[in-house]
Amino acid sequence: MRPLLSTRICPLCLFTTGSRTAPALCQPWATQRSYAVARGAWKGGRSSSPSRMVLSDDVSRPAAARDGRGRDSEKARRRPGPFGGMNQTEFRGRDRSPGAAPRSQGSQGGQNRDRGKKDERRTKAMKMQSSLATVSYGHRTRMKANISDVESFDQFELLPDVKRAVTDEVLKGMTDIKPTPVQRLAIPALLGQYTGRGPKPKANPGRQEFLLAAETGSGKTLAYLAPAVHALKQAEAADPEIAKYREYFAQQREAMQAPDYTGPREFEPHPTAARPKVVVLVPSAELVDQIGAVAKSLSHVAKFKSVTLSANKSAAVIERGIYSPGGVDLVVTTPHLLSSIADSDPNILSRVSHLVVDEADSLFDRSFSAVTTAILDRALPSIKQLVLCSATIPKRLDNYMVTQFPDMVRITTPNLHAIPRRVQLGVVDVSKDPYRNNKNLACADAIWSIGKDAARHETSVPGEVDVKRIMVFVNEREKTQEVAEYLVSKGIDAVALHRDTSEQRQSEMLGSFTTTEPMKAAIEVSQVPAGKRSLPNTKVIVATDLASRGIDTLAVRHVILYDVPHTTIDFIHRLGRAGRMGRRGRGVVLVGKDDRRDIVAEVRESMFMGQALI
């Protein structure tokens, strides 16, 4: 007997039959077929509306929002009874939520024939968690169109010095420099520049609010810093107070050079002393240093004063930085530190025109949100541009933005919420032999095999190999130390990234993970005196993703997910430490007997399809 799935329904008489015999048995079917064949539109008995392999760009809109005809046919298709749900041009059960990215985003998408059914199964467990806000397919497509014809930083209306600072300082040494998708979208938008696509932006004399959301390692820092520095320099050129100070400074300096000068030898403080115009908030001291370094590079050419403030610095250094008589234009800091400075000097936020909240998903999370919003409230009266920046938009953040900033312009890249394209994910079932739920052993084994594999490839110097830098992620901070100690006991150079790790060791290790400089080691896997083997060509950081959120770990090719992350948000941030800026990367997830295999399988399949996680 022919299986039920291969039967077809004649659209006119609703006669059910096998596909081969249909034309012979059913006259309307045959008539329709020959008519359609003659038009070149035969789709095997389906109606001539779009094939289900073509996605409509209003796929994210609910059926009720579509035209009347659509609603009627929808009703008909959903009619209960033996023929209800037949003759559909698209699969009803398919995930129609906007977060489920279209096939066209992936390279392998064409392989999936019974796509609708598979998609539903594929995202079921992720949907149960459903922690990420969704982005519609139509929105992604529009954003894709908006970036297609931007090829160079010259196309942006940035001041020449700022442009030079980006290409000759921050991206120094790179050839064929092109803006990344998020830069193509965000820089013109933040500059208020019209790119010839979409509706022309209205000049907004009040406050502008932007969300800037793009995948990990995609260049978001420059996307917000370059326009902020541009605005800073423009405002400075038009500020009468600064012009007056410059005049005073030049006169005073000349006067001081006279041999008979007896007046004060110090200058009056600059109008911007302790009154920055641009403030960038980030969640950790490491990120303060990282973003601060990009700002510093920009300042060398664009000429402005940037300062980094973090709890790693002494009170004296912080005070010297912020109260420098030469003024301060841009501050990169954490909300807690800025808040405590603002408690003793409320004027510190009185001139802020540009406030950037980087890693906004963390900074509006429970642990930070009270202090972040307090800063926001203080700074809002003077703010001209507020930018929230993140690689993930959790539903929580989405709701906050909807209620607090309903007019916020959302700039999201077409691949938002997808794991970088060139990162692959392998799964190790640690519940089986030889590990029997010993994750420590499985983790050490994975690192040893990466190290041994790398030891086979000598550099141009005989006997020398590249050092592999590997990140291991655990769910709980307390676990970092335990895992790191175990790895060290197995001859692996591992360090836990947490508050109690010595600052020097931590920054040494992070430094070697964020540099693009190759590191070399002797090829031999050595025997230390006690007979314990050691692996000299790997370096390992064990961390929770909070400790490493946003860190630009360019040197990392391997990420080990010791614990299965609690949410897809954590998957994105953890795997996003590899595969930065289009580099290749590999993730390995250790799945124990109590772990959510369904989630891992779905994440893996989404990655394979090149689709966004939901």
Ligand X SMILES: Nc1ncnc2c1ncn2[C@@H]1O[C@H](COP(=O)(O)OP(=O)(O)OP(=O)(O)O)[C@@H](O)[C@H]1O
Q: Which lies closer to ligand X via its Cβ, residue 98 or residue 179? A: 179
Shortest approach of ligand X to residue 254 CB, angstroms?
A: 41
Q: Which of 218, 297, 306, 310 binds ligand X (CB under 6 A)?
A: 218
Q: Which of 181, 217, 536, 565 binds ligand X (CB under 6 A)?
A: 217
Shortest approach of ligand X to residue 364 CB, angstroms?
A: 15
Check: CB of residue 57 under 8 Å from CB of residue 138: yes
Q: Three-class SS of residue 229?
A: helix
Binding mask 165-184 for ligand X (x = CB under 6 A): ------x--x--xxxx--x-
- In the chain, the amino acid numbered 452 is K
Check: CB of residue 352 under 8 Å from CB of residue 155: no
* Rounded Cα distance, 583 and 217, in Å: 10
Shortest approach of ligand X to residue 505 CB, angstroms?
A: 23
CA 289 to chain centre: 19
- In the chain, the amino acid numbered 212 is L
Identify residues 551-590 at the interface with ligand X (CB under 6 A).
552, 554, 576, 580-581
Q: Are strands 492-496 and 409-412 parallel, antiparallel or unpaired?
A: unpaired
Q: Which lies closer to ligand X via its Cβ, residue 115 or residue 580? A: 580
Which part of the chain contacts ligand X (CB under 6 A), choosing from 185-193, 210-218, 362-370, 475-483?
210-218
Shortest approach of ligand X to residue 178 CB, angstroms?
A: 6
Shortest approach of ligand X to residue 170 CB, angstroms?
A: 6
Q: Which lies closer to ligand X via its Cβ, residue 9 or residue 298? A: 298
**Residues binding ligand X: what is the number (CB under 6 A)?**
22
| C-alpha distance from residue 307 to each of 183, 313, 324, 499 (Å) | 24, 12, 10, 23
Shortest approach of ligand X to residue 226 CB, angstroms?
A: 10
Q: Which of 60, 195, 216, 272 binds ligand X (CB under 6 A)?
A: 216
- In the chain, the amino acid numbered 441 is L
Shortest approach of ligand X to residue 183 CB, angstroms?
A: 6
Q: Which lies closer to ligand X via its Cβ, residue 169 or residue 605? A: 169
What's the longest Cα–Cα distance across the chain? 115
Q: Are strands 409-412 and 385-390 parallel, antiparallel or unpaired?
A: unpaired
Token couple for 144: 């894709």
Between helix 181-191 and helix 137-147 the angle, nearest 10°, is 80
Identify residues 219-278 at the interface with ligand X (CB under 6 A).
219-222
Which part of the chain contacts ligand X (CB under 6 A), choosing from 217-225, 435-443, 456-464, 500-508?
217-225
* Rounded Cα distance, 141 and 213, in Å: 15
Check: CB of residue 182 under 8 Å from CB of residue 414: no
Q: Which lies closer to ligand X via its Cβ, residue 180 or residue 372? A: 180
Q: Three-class SS of residue 18?
A: strand
The H or E element containing residue 503 is: helix 503-514
Binding mask 377-396 for ligand X (x = CB under 6 A): --------------x-----
Shortest approach of ligand X to residue 391 CB, angstroms?
A: 4
Shortest approach of ligand X to residue 221 CB, angstroms?
A: 3
519 binds ligand X (CB under 6 A): no
Strands annotated E in 322-374 = 330-333, 354-357
Q: Three-class SS of residue 93?
A: coil
Shortest approach of ligand X to residue 453 CB, angstroms?
A: 26
Q: Which lies closer to ligand X via its Cβ, residue 361 or residue 493? A: 361
Which part of the chain contacts ligand X (CB under 6 A), choosing from 111-119, 218-226, 298-306, 429-437?
218-226
Q: Which lies closer to ligand X via its Cβ, residue 20 or residue 178? A: 178
* Rounded Cα distance, 409 and 204, in Å: 12
Which part of the chain contacts ligand X (CB under 6 A), choosing from 205-213, 232-240, 398-406, 550-558?
550-558
Check: CB of residue 80 under 8 Å from CB of residue 58: no
* Rounded Cα distance, 96 and 134, in Å: 11
Q: Which lies closer to ligand X via its Cβ, residue 106 or residue 217? A: 217
| C-alpha distance from residue 524 to each of 140, 213, 451, 461, 537 (Å) | 49, 44, 11, 14, 9
Q: Which lies closer to ligand X via its Cβ, residue 98 or residue 579? A: 579
* Rounded Cα distance, 512 and 521, in Å: 13
The H or E element containing residue 72 is: helix 68-78
CA 231 to chain centre: 25
Q: Which lies closer to ligand X via its Cβ, residue 184 or residue 439? A: 184
Which part of the chain contacts ligand X (CB under 6 A), choosing from 18-26, 30-38, 93-101, 214-222?
214-222
Q: Which lies closer to ligand X via its Cβ, residue 219 or residue 536? A: 219
Contact footprint for ligand X (CB under 6 A): 171, 174, 177-180, 183, 214, 216-222, 391, 550, 552, 554, 576, 580-581
